[in-house]
């Protein structure tokens, strides 16, 4: 077989393969569009629920709760301590495999926040390590009611979560508890800051600095 004949044969095979791949892709796209249209109502409802979760900032609320409770599991807030009359109990943090679970109570209702690595671990790229994780909220029966997909270098870093990253959301009364837990925690933090800012020690330091 001549070199010219080999080149023509290779080009022919490549052309035939490209044509086949293009035909398959068009067929798959057509099937995908048909299935989307068939289940249009379901996808429309999912879109609305994702939008609701974002409007209520539930993704940022559970991420803040998780970070704070992992760092300070002994944190507890009595109803009388804050401006919002909600009680936040001590957290229990457990680790198993690639997952970290935080059990906590808000107004005597139990919840679980679980951070799980996706795909079994981390990816190192140009000296930086990236993690892909799921943060899920479970109710007292351990049913998942909210899941957020996270692409983080570490859980400590802030991330802007898009609607598509909300992969599970079952609205119910738990929403009130999570909003109360978050607002109770944030309000308590701000009250502590105010208390420290106007403590006797701080006031005395100011008096000395300004000769009062």
Helices 174-197 and 58-71, packing angle to 10 deg: 60
Classify residue 211: in a domain, yes or no. Answer: no
Parent domain of 126: 56-199
Q: Does the residue 10 lie in any domain?
A: yes
Q: How many CB atoms lie within 10 A of CB 168?
A: 15
Assigned domain for 45 exists: no
In a domain, 208, yes or no: no
What's the domain count of the chain?
2
CA–CA distance, 144 with 113 (Å, rounded to integer): 10
Domain membership flag for residue 139: yes
For residue 204, is it within any domain?
Answer: no
**Calpha distance 91→102 (Å, rounded):** 6
| d(C-alpha 40, C-alpha 34), whole Å | 10
Residue 184 lies in a domain: yes
Q: Are residues 31 and 91 in the same domain?
A: no
CA pair distance 173, 211, nearest whole angstrom: 55
pLDDT digits 0-9 by tens, 31-85: 888 887 878 888 889 999 999 999 999 999 999 999 999 998 888 777 776 677 7
Same domain, 7 and 64: no
Whether 33 and 60 share a structural domain = no
Cβ contact 114:138 at 8 Å:
yes
Let me know whether 85 and 185 are in one domain: yes
Q: Which residues, in sequence order, are bridge partners of residue 117?
A: 133
pLDDT tens-digit readout, 146-203: 999 987 654 455 567 888 899 999 999 999 999 999 998 888 888 888 888 898 888 8
Do 122 and 181 fall within a single domain? yes
């Amino acid at each position: 077989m001549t070199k010219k004949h080999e080149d023509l044969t290779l080009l022919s095979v490549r052309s035939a393969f490209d044509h086949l791949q293009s035909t398959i892709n068009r067929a798959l796209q057509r099937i995908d569009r048909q299935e989307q249209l068939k289940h249009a109502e379901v996808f429309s409802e999912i879109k609305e629920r994702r939008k609701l979760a974002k409007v209520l900032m539930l993704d940022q609320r559970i991420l803040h709760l998780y970070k704070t409770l992992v760092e300070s599991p002994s944190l507890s807030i009595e109803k009388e301590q804050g401006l919002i009359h909600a009680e936040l109990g001590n957290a229990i943090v457990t680790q198993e495999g690639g997952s970290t679970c935080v059990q906590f109570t808000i107004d005597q209702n139990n919840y679980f926040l679980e951070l799980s690595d996706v795909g079994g671990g981390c990816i190192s790229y140009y000296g930086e390590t990236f993690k892909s994780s799921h943060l899920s909220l479970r109710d007292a029966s351990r049913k998942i009611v909210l899941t957020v997909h996270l692409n983080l270098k570490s859980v400590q870093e802030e991330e802007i979560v898009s609607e598509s990253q909300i992969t599970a959301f079952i609205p119910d009364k738990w929403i009130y508890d999570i909003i109360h837990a978050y607002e109770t925690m944030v309000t308590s933090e701000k009250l502590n800051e105010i208390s420290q800012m106007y403590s006797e020690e701080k006031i005395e330091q100011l008096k000395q600095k300004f000769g009062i």
